[in-house]
Amino acid sequence: TEATARVTGGEVVEITLAPAEESHIAGQAIALSVVWEDDDLIVIDKPAGLVVHPGPGNADGTLVNALIHHCGASLSGVGGMLRPGIVHRIDKETSGLLVAAKTDRAHQGLAAQFAAHDVERHYMALCHGVPDKGDPRLRGVEGVSFEAGGILRIEANLDRHRADRQKQAVTPHGGRHAVTRVRVEEAFGTPPACAL
């Protein structure tokens, strides 16, 4: 039928989608630490130093290249191209679990959960200095507050850095709304006294 035809009750509409094309990104035999895999999902323990997506300066040798090789034809066809459905990122120098969809249905479901902020992510980091609500450097900083139990809350909008497009930065307008909560698991040494 014509694209402008009106639909009335009781009609059956059939849509035929073209099969997903092979990706222009080549699969590469890169060792993966697979934590979970089934017909719909794969969870990878990404090591520090591994870039997730190909891009400027990292045309290959990425997690996407490894997943294309590992998963073969059992990949999502979202956007008309066979590729792993990665809906979240982990920075190159960060290690941790990364979930990728192998089917369109799983990809759409994961994307919806991340968009609705229904997914919680937990990170551990070793830092120099301990967030303290008595520290004058934190007073009055927009979006910074403390919650019960000494939890530091940072609320800001994130977008691509203006000068370095490979990085994220806090932006006053636009971007994606983000809330980060920080809790000290263990402090080492004696914290310096805060000068008021």
Q: Tell me if residue 60 is catalytic.
A: no
Between the two ends of the chain, the Cα-to-Cα distance in Å is 74
- Pull the structure tokens for residue 33: 């630490």
- Pull the structure tokens for residue 164: 């370095």
Calpha distance 101→181 (Å, rounded): 27
CA distances from 156 to 74, 141, 179 (A): 38, 11, 7
CA distances from 112 to 42, 64, 76 (A): 17, 21, 15
Residue 29 CB coordination number (10 Å): 9
DSSP letters of 40-83? SEEEEEEPTT--SS-BTTBSSSSHHHHHHHHHTT-SB-GGGB-B
Calpha distance 131→99 (Å, rounded): 30
User: Which is the catalytic residue, given 40, 91, 132, 159?
Assistant: 91
Please choose, from the candidates 163, 165, 161, the residue with its C-alpha nearest in 3D space to the C-alpha of residue 55.
165
Active-site amino acid positions? 91
